[in-house]
């Protein structure tokens, strides 16, 4: 059966075009990239917030509602007796045409009905605390039209959590002001708050509403506001209950005539001594300035052009031309876009993350970094310092920190023993991209305590030491609360459903629980660390002070030696105690029993350790990597990607924790956790198996899934989701938790550095592709440290790996590293 399609890619415009509003799940986009953010679905649902989706929520949203995705910025158009919305919802009046275009930080929704077209462009201009909604109304008919247009936004009482809970207070606090066409929301402004929001339109209005019940009617739905149905605004003034903002505008259009209405939903903060312009009246000066900046079509169009230019610049840093549209559109547009969104949001706000949950993850943030470091390296630098500042003196670290305060989160604490290694991973990626070794001399505190500062390099060192100092009986890393897999809780032993698996520890002392995933991660990042030390020795020798981060050439060589030994020992430990015969074990449990072994009945094999130990190349010469990769292919792979473990656990195992609490085939219990598929893919490239790598890669590449499974897959076809239901699930192939996932960065890292093979390195770009034999030629343009490299890779014989020769500007170079040079360069790579 051929599946129904709900949309298609428009690569020239960098858009995904949705042609049916009834998508299998709301397909959303993100507006804003700095301070002011909005989520917007294909029917204009969603909400806005300033910086923090929990503490500064501007408009209200109800999760998990019935129907799904109710609430958003709605325009009601009343044309005679027909009321419709350009985005179909909430009235769901059948439209004559509908289209939603999600682009880079903007969305355009166009609907038409009875000879009237309404097209609304939504975006947050650069450096602006406001969402612009530019509505263009067009009379396509042969008669004059007299339309009644109502806008609608519902305010959130700032704190998204208490807004949903504390009704005894909330229903009495709401306050608004009205001035001309601007409707202000100023709840709690009198006391500690110094901020307000507003919703305005660049024309005179013929009425308004600011009280939800007056506008909608207590027993009505968003689909049937009484004021709209009657075509009469109530001119209501909210006191408590639920403040809203709705403009009423009468628009007459001659045949063929069109008119723009520009709405602006903005946010303002005032200085403490400039809060009021008169007793109880908010000082609106900044709002006026903001409104002035976007009150004409010309000004808005200019701001929109600037936003597009911003994205041109970000996306021009790495582009590929391969002749395969499905690859090119992911690499050039959507994968990079998703990485930036994940950087902005971390794991906070999506249609699966409520924005009131967790803070920023230590490991998550380090991994996200490889997805955007080439685009905004200065923000990556700051992120690394922020993350490292939540480390403890013994190298352990807070598992999460709060973005507003940047403090470690005490509720969760530390003890996730993979965390420290990720700091190496992120920092090395930053230095390789930028060549900025000075970051290692930055003085960074422990647990944000002033006076405790040491160099960032010292933080890296203690990160490595943390693993070495926490080895178990097999000289493998102790797992702690969990490693990357938050749900493999080997020291938890919880029988109480009210306990958190991540923070409960009922058997801490004397644990023998060791992780093969951390072992592989340690070897990979340990090798990186050794290479970094050697590079630092060189840099120190060349610097006129003779030191870097306070250490001399000799110190770095000694440190490199020390860590190489630890890496070698770990390598041996994995081969001796971690090899199960056909693949790598996953772990030893509290008692020292094997997990992820052929001896087990369920959970015989896990993906994480196959991925990391093959990325590390452990046992490559002896053929262990090839075996582990074959086993992964055989046992973990299915039509939709590779599952996390196999077979799935069918009962709860107290000694394993959360993983065994999930139904089979979902989440960490044998779901396709897309995040870790790239680890095996990279492992395949290390082993030189380009066809296998490509095969695994395209199974979870959104553009390939888009072509086949829009209905089954359910979630947005232009981005990766965290999890796709695995082969043991009731409905394999169904995607969940889209947008905010480490998958984005890993997909990017995999395709850019390991498949296309353009790897930033200390001295230049290292070229080392690993390709499917069908790939005969492609071009990459890569901007890198002031140079621009046009790289043509030729592979006439269809080789999977191995560079024969590289010429730069016509001259053959030694080895595979293109040295850094300013200006434009032509590079030809022969496989
Ligand atoms: C989630 C978490 C991440 C964790 C993963 C696997 O994506 O954000 O930190 O590693 O789940 O449990
Ligand atoms: C749950 C999820 C896991 C996530 C964790 C965050 O355990 O299964 O993916 O990392 O919550 O705390």
Answer yes or no: is the C-beta of 347 below 6 A from any ligand 1 atom.
yes
Angle value at C-alpha 260, between 254 and 265, nearest 5 degrees:
145
d(CA 375, CA 387): 19
- What six digits make up the tokens of 744? 């984005």
User: What is residue 389's three-state secondary structure?
Assistant: coil
* 359 in contact with ligand 1, CB cutoff 6 A: no
Q: Which residues are catalytic?
A: 486
At residue 410 the predicted structure's pLDDT band, cuts being 50, 70 and 90, is confident
In short, whether 481's Cβ falls inside 6 Å of ligand 1 is: no
296 by DSSP, 3-state: which? Answer: coil
pLDDT digits (tens, 9 = 90+) for 272-290: 999 999 999 999 999 999 9
**What's the pLDDT at 71?**
95
* Residue linked to tokens 């498949």: 755
Answer yes or no: is pLDDT of 359 > 90.
no
pLDDT digits (tens, 9 = 90+) for 3-58: 899 999 999 999 999 999 999 999 999 999 999 999 999 999 999 999 999 999 99
486 lines ligand 1 (CB under 6 A): yes
Ligand 2 center from residue 22 Cα (angstroms): 30
- 46 — alpha (psi -120 to 50), left (phi > 0) or beta? left
Average pLDDT over residues 745-756: 98
Please, what is the Cα angle at 67 between 64 and 70, to 5 degrees? 75
Task: Identify the residue whose C-alpha is closest to ligand 2 atom 11.
Answer: 486
Q: Which atom of ligand 2 is nearest to the CA of 667?
A: 8
With a 6 A CB cut-off, is 743 part of the ligand 2 pocket? no
Q: Cα(253)–Cα(262) distance, rounded to whole angstroms?
A: 17
Q: Which residues pair with 362 in a beta bridge?
A: none
**What pLDDT is attached to residue 788?**
98
pLDDT, one tens digit per residue, over 124-151 is 999 999 999 999 999 999 999 999 999 9
- The Cα 42–Cα 99 span in angstroms is 9
Atom of ligand 2 nearest to the CA of 412: 12
Alpha carbon nearest to ligand 2 atom 5, residue: 486
Question: Residue 622: how many CA atoms within 13 Å on its side-chain side?
Answer: 13
Residue predicted with more confidence, 190 or 536: 536
Q: Are 677 and 720 in contact (CB under 8 A)?
A: no
Of 299-308, 543-552, 646-655, minimum mean pLDDT range? 543-552
What pLDDT is stored for residue 357 in this prediction?
82
Q: So what's the pLDDT on residue 110?
A: 99
Q: How far is CA 228 from the centre of its chain?
A: 38
- pLDDT value at 750 more than 80: yes
Q: Whose CA is nearest to atom 1 of ligand 1?
A: 486
Among protein residues, the one with the nearest Cα to ligand 2's atom 4 is 486
Per-residue pLDDT band for 358 (boundaries 50, 70, 90) equals: confident
Give me the sheet containing 735-738, strands edge to edge.
672-673, 721-724, 735-738
Q: Which residues contact 615 (CB under 8 A, 6 or more apart)?
A: 520, 524, 679, 682, 683, 686
Dihedral angle, C-alpha 398, 400, 401, 403, nearest 10 ° = 160
* CA–centroid distance, residue 742 to ligand 1 (Å): 8
226 CB-contact burial (10 Å; exposed 0-12 / middle 13-18 / buried 19+): middle
Whether 814 and 776 have beta carbons less than 8 Å apart is answered as no
Backbone torsions φ then ψ of 155, nearest 5 degrees = -75, 145
The SS3 assignment for 413 reads coil
- Structure confidence at residue 402 (pLDDT): 81
673 CA: nearest ligand 2 atom: 9
What phi-psi label fits residue 513: left (phi over 0), alpha (psi between -120 and 50 degrees) or beta? beta
- Three-class SS state of 257: coil
Which atom of ligand 1 lies at the shortest distance from residue 364's CA? 9
Q: Which ligand places an atom closest to the C-alpha of 364?
A: 1
**CA–CA distance, 432 with 764 (Å, rounded to integer):** 8
pLDDT at 508 over 80: no
Mutate to test the pocket of ligand 2, among 486, 667, 674 (most ligand atoms within 8 A of CB): 486
Fill in the DSSP letter of residue 434: H
**Tokens describing residue 663:** 């139904």
Q: Is the CB of 364 under 6 A from ligand 1?
A: yes
Q: Where are the alpha helices (DSSP H) in 653-793?
A: 677-686, 690-699, 702-708, 710-713, 743-749
Q: Which two tokens stand for residue 167?
A: 């009704």
Q: For ligand 1, atom 10, which residue shows the shortest CA distance?
A: 484
Ligand closest to CA 366: 1
Q: Is the pLDDT of residue 322 over 80?
A: yes
Q: Inter-axis angle of helices 607-615 and 677-686, to 10 degrees?
A: 30
Tokens encoding 825: 């360069």
Ligand 2 site, residue 502, Cβ cutoff 6 A: yes
Distance 686 CA to ligand 2 centre (A): 29
Two tokens, residue 758 = 């353009």
Ligand 1 pocket test: pick from 484, 720, 741 the residue with the most ligand atoms within 8 Å of its Cβ.
Answer: 484
Task: Give the closest residue (by CA) to ligand 2 atom 3.
Answer: 486
Distance 92 CA to ligand 2 centre (A): 36
Q: Give CA–CA dist 831/220, Å, rounded.
A: 67
668 CB near ligand 1 (under 6 Å)? yes
Q: How far, in whole angstroms, is CA 157 from its chain's centroid? A: 26
Look over the chain and give the mean of its residue pLDDT values, rounded to a whole number. Answer: 97
The ligand with the least distance to the CA atom of 361 is 1
pLDDT at 1: 58
Residue with the smallest CA separation from ligand 2 atom 6 is 486
Give mean pLDDT, residues 462-477. 98
**Alpha carbon separation from 629 to 298, 620, 634, 692, 709 (Å, rounded):** 57, 11, 9, 9, 27
At 360, is the pLDDT very low, low, confident or very high (cuts 50, 70, 90)? confident
Contact 394, 453 (CB under 8 A): no
Cβ atoms of residues 254 and 228 within 8 Å: no
- What is the Å distance from ligand 1's center to 401 Cα? 15
Residue 72's pLDDT band (cuts 50, 70, 90): very high
Is pLDDT of 2 > 80? no
627 CB less than 6 Å from ligand 1? no
Q: Is the CB of 419 under 6 A from ligand 1?
A: no
Smallest-distance ligand from the CA of 488: 1
Q: Is the CB of 340 under 6 A from ligand 1?
A: no
Q: How far is the CA of 245 from the centre of ligand 2 (A)?
A: 37
Distances (CA, A) of 313 to 309, 318, 511, 694, 744: 6, 10, 51, 29, 20
Ligand 2 centroid to residue 525 C-alpha, Å: 24
**Which listed ligand is nearest to 419 at the C-alpha?**
1
Distance 502 CA to ligand 2 centre (A): 8
Helix (H, G, I), strand (E, B) or coil at 252: strand
Half-sphere exposure of 75 (CA within 13 A, CB side): 28
Question: Which pLDDT does position 501 carry in this prediction?
Answer: 95
Ligand 1: does its nearest atom lie under 6 Å from the Cβ of 484? yes
Distance between CA 122 and CA 112 in Å, rounded? 17
- C-alpha 126/C-alpha 311 separation (Å) is 11
| CB-ligand 1 contact for 487 (6 Å cutoff) | yes
The average pLDDT across 199-218 equals: 98
As a whole number of angstroms, the distance between CA 563 and CA 527 comes to 8
Select the more confidently predicted residue: 497 or 506: 497
Crossing angle of helices 553-577 and 516-542, in 10° steps, is 160
Cβ partners under 8 Å of residue 693, min gap 6: 681, 682, 684, 685, 754, 755, 770, 772
Cα of 659 to ligand 2 centre, how many Å?
Answer: 10
* Ligand 1 binding pocket includes 732 (Cβ within 6 Å): no
Mutate to test the pocket of ligand 2, among 363, 502, 675 (most ligand atoms within 8 A of CB): 502
Residue 406 in this model has a pLDDT that exceeds 90 = no
Segment 524-548 mean pLDDT: 96
Answer whether 492's CB lies under 8 Å from 514's CB: no
Ligand 1, atom 8: nearest CA belongs to which residue? 364
Cβ atoms of 49 and 350 within 8 Å: the answer is: no
Beta carbons within 10 angstroms of residue 534's beta carbon:
17
Any atom of ligand 2 within 6 Å of the Cβ of 668: yes
Burial of 274 (0-12, 13-18, 19+ CB in 10 A): exposed
3-state secondary structure of 327: helix
Please tell me if the CB atom of residue 535 comes closer than 6 angstroms to any atom of ligand 2: no
Pure H helices in 185-249: 212-216, 226-230
Q: Is 485 in the pocket of ligand 1 (CB under 6 A)?
A: yes
Measured CA to CA, the distance from residue 252 to residue 143 in angstroms comes to 11
What is the CA angle 486-488-493, rounded to 5? 115
Which numbered ligand comes closest to the C-alpha of 742?
1
3-state secondary structure 816-831: CEEECCCEEEEEEEEC
Separation of CA 641 and ligand 2 centre (Å): 20
Contact between residue 283 and residue 748 where contact means Cβ atoms under 8 Å apart: no
Cα–Cα distance, 379 to 374 (Å, whole number) = 10
**Does the C-beta of 361 come closer than 6 Å to ligand 1?**
yes
Q: What is the DSSP pairing of strand 182-185 with strand 400-401?
A: unpaired
CA distance 83 to 111: 12
Tell which atom from ligand 1 comes closest to the C-alpha of 722.
7
Query: pLDDT tens digit string along 216-236?
Result: 999 999 999 999 999 999 999
pTM of the full predicted structure?
Answer: 0.97
| Closest approach atom of ligand 1 to CA 361 | 9
Q: Angle 422-396-583 (CA atoms, 0-180°, nearest 5)?
A: 50
Query: If you count them, how many residues does the chain have?
Result: 831
The angle, 0 to 180 degrees and rounded to 10, between the axes of the packed helices 456-468 and 516-542 is 150
Closest CA to ligand 1's atom 7 = 741
- Cβ 667 under 6 angstroms from ligand 2: yes
């Amino acid at each position: 059966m051929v599946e129904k399609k709900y949309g298609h890619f428009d690569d020239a415009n960098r858009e995904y075009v949705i042609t049916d509003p009834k998508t299998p799940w709301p397909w959303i986009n993100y507006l804003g990239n700095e301070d002011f953010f909005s989520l917007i679905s294909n029917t204009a649902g969603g909400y806005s917030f300033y910086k923090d989706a929990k503490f500064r929520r501007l408009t209200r949203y109800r999760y998990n509602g019935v129907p799904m995705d109710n609430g958003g910025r709605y325009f009601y158009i009343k044309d005679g007796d027909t009321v419709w919305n350009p985005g179909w919802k909430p009235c769901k009046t059948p439209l004559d045409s509908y289209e939603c275009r999600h682009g880079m930080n903007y969305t355009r929704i166009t609907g038409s009905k009875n000879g009237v077209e309404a097209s609304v462009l939504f975006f947050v201009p650069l450096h602006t605390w406001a969402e612009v909604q530019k509505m263009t109304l067009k009379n396509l008919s042969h008669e004059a039209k007299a339309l009644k247009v109502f806008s609608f936004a519902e305010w959130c009482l700032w704190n998204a959590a208490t807004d949903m809970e504390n009704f005894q207070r909330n229903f009495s606090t709401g306050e608004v002001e009205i001035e001309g066409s601007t409707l202000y929301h100023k709840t709690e402004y009198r006391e500690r708050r110094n901020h307000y929001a507003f919703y305005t339109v660049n024309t005179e209005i013929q009425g308004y509403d600011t009280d939800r019940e007056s506008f909608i009617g207590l027993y009505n739905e968003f689909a049937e506001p009484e004021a709209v149905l009657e075509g009469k605004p109530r001119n209501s003034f909210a006191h408590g209950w639920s403040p809203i903002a709705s403009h009423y505008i009468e628009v007459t259009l001659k045949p063929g005539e069109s008119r723009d209405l520009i709405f602006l939903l903005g946010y303002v903060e005032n200085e403490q001594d400039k809060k009021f312009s008169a007793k109880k009246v908010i000082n609106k000066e900044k709002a006026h300035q903001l409104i002035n900046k976007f009150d004409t079509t010309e000004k808005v169009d200019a701001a929109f052009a600037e936003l597009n230019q911003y994205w041109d610049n970000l996306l021009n840093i790495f582009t590929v031309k391969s002749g395969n549209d499905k690859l090119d559109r992911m690499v050039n547009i959507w994968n990079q876009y998703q990485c930036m969104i994940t950087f902005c949001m971390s794991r906070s706000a999506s249609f699966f993350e409520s924005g009131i949950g967790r803070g920023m993850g230590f490991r998550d943030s380090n991994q996200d970094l490889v997805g955007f470091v080439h685009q905004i390296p200065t923000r990556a630098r700051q992120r690394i310092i922020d993350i490292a500042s939540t480390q403890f003196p013994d190298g352990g670290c807070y598992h999460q920190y709060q973005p507003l305060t940047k403090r470690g989160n005490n509720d969760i604490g530390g003890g996730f023993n993979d965390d420290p290694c990720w700091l190496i991973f992120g920092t090395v990626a930053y230095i390789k991209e930028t060549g900025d070794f000075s970051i290692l001399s930055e003085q960074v505190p422990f647990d944000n305590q002033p006076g405790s500062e040491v160099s960032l390099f010292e933080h890296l060192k203690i990160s490595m030491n943390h693993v070495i100092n926490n080895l178990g009986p097999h000289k493998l890393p102790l797992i702690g609360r969990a490693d990357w897999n938050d749900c493999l809780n080997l020291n938890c032993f919880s029988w109480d459903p009210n306990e958190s698996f991540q923070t409960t520890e009922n058997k801490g002392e004397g644990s023998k629980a060791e992780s093969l995933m951390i072992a592989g991660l340690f070897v990979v990042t340990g090798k990186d660390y050794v290479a970094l030390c050697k590079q630092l020795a060189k840099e120190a020798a060349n610097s006129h002070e003779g030191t870097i981060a306070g250490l001399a050439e000799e110190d770095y060589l000694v440190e490199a030696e020390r860590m190489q030994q630890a890496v070698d020992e770990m390598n041996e430990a994995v081969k001796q105690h971690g090899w199960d015969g056909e693949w790598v074990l996953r772990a030893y449990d509290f008692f020292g029993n094997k997990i992820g072994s052929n001896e087990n009945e369920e959970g015989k094999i896990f993906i994480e350790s196959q991925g990391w130990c093959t990325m590390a190349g452990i046992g490559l010469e002896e053929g262990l990597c090839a075996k582990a990769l074959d086993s992964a292919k055989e046992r973990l792979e299915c039509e939709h990607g590779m599952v996390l473990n196999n077979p799935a656990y069918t009962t709860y195992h107290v000694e394993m924790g959360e993983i065994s609490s999930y139904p089979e085939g979902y989440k960490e219990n044998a779901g396709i956790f897309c995040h870790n598929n790239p680890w095996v893919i990279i492992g395949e490239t290390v082993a030189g198996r380009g066809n296998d790598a490509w095969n695994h890669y395209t199974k979870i590449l959104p553009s390939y899934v888009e072509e086949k499974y829009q209905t089954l897959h359910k979630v947005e076809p232009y981005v990766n989701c965290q999890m796709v239901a695995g082969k043991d699930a009731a409905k394999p192939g169904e995607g969940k938790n889209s947008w905010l996932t480490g998958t984005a960065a890993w997909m990017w890292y995999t395709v850019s550095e390991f498949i296309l093979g353009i790897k930033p390195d200390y001295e230049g770009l290292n070229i080392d592709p690993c390709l499917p034999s069908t790939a005969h030629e492609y071009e990459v343009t890569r901007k890198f440290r002031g140079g621009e490299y046009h790289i043509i890779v030729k592979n006439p014989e269809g080789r999977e790996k191995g560079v024969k020769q590289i010429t730069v500007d016509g001259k053959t170079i030694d080895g595979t590293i293109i040295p850094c040079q300013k200006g434009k360069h032509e590079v030809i790579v022969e496989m």
